[in-house]
Amino acid sequence: MIFLFRLLREGQFWYVLLVIIALILAYRFTSVNENIFNSIERPFLAVFSPIHDFFSTIVNFIANKVASVKDIFYLKSQNEILKKKIEELSPYQKIYYELKTENEKLRRMLDLKQKTYDFDLEAAEVIGRDPGNWSNILIIDKGTNSGVYKNMAVISEDGLVGYTVDVGKNWAKVLIITDNRSSISAMIQRTRDNGIVKGSVSPAPPGYIKMVYLPVDASIVKGDVVISSGLGGIVPKGIVIGEVVEVKKESDNLMKYAIVKPAVDFNKLEYVFVIKNYTYRE
């Protein structure tokens, strides 16, 4: 419009008139022959549309990669945060596991105490081992102040541990059944054959015990359970001692002996019970 006014001011009327006529004719031509322009447009679209799609694909690919890179950096930062949290929680996890393990052991001990109504059991913690005889003497944290005295049987939830041999006010030494000085009256639970269980006597391997003086005709087999017989005045009857792993005749063929695996794992022993009120009865 500014261009037309400029032409009128300059006296170029005919030019203005021609421009107006041209515009009118162009409008009428396009409105009547719209299909002509559509036919011209289609080839251009056919040529340029794949190019447009190609570049759109590249742009989208790059955009996605940029987003992926951002995600990677985000995930990396989150991973570092989680690692730090795990490091912070790790000590608490160890404490929780230790408390859980101890709680389970104490529950088993409580269950044992509730089942053994006839005995007055004094719970004690293993606080050491005799440095002079590392594997066969345990030191517990209860003594005469708690009613613990010499020659009292000591048990765990798994079976017989041994008996006290030396006692102080707040401690006691326990001779465990694998010591070669230990000698306990025992019987085969299934057959009721009696014998004596001795600690680590040849040919019993270290950590095992030998049951001797078994009748030559005793039908003892591997897997039989050995329990205390109650004879001798220290260990009550019926306490599990271990399991038979081998049976053989003595060299004189007059007796049998059995190699017995103890029921208690002495290397992992942490808590025990001292039987305080047992007196031998025939």
Please report the pLDDT score of residue 25 as a whole number: 55
| Structural contact between residues 276 and 120, judged by C-beta atoms closer than 8 angstroms | yes
Give per-residue pLDDT as tens, 185-220: 999 999 999 999 998 777 778 889 999 999 999 999
Query: What six digits make up the tokens of 23?
Result: 């515009």
DSSP letter assigned to residue 236: P
Helices (H), 116-203: none
pLDDT at 21 over 70: no
State mean pLDDT over 142-152: 94
CB neighbourhood size of 1 (10 A): 5
| pLDDT of res. 205 | 83
pLDDT of residue 60: 61
Average pLDDT over residues 72-99: 67
Q: What is the mean pLDDT of the chain?
A: 76
Confidence of residue 233 (pLDDT cuts 50, 70, 90): confident
CA nearest neighbour of 243 among 273, 228, 213, 222? 222
CA 157, CA 169: separation in Å to the nearest integer? 25
Q: Is the pLDDT assigned to residue 4 strictly greater than 90?
A: no
Smallest Cα–Cα separation from 278: which of 108, 127, 147?
147
Cβ–Cβ under 8 Å, residues 259 and 208? yes
pLDDT tier, 93 (very low <50, low <70, confident <90, very high otherwise): low
Q: How confident is the model at residue 151 (pLDDT cuts 50, 70, 90)?
A: very high
Radius of gyration of the chain (CA): 48
| pLDDT recorded at residue 81 | 78
Which of 195, 219, 220 has the alpha carbon at shortest distance from 209?
A: 195
What confidence category does residue 99 fall into, taking pLDDT thresholds of 50, 70 and 90? Answer: low
SS3 24: helix
Task: Using alpha carbons only, give the angle 69, 74, 77 rounded to the nearest 5 degrees.
Answer: 130
Q: What distance in Å separates the CA atoms of residue 208 and residue 234, rounded to the nearest whole number? A: 21
Q: How is residue 157 written in tokens?
A: 């939830």
Distance, C-alpha 45 to centroid of its chain: 67
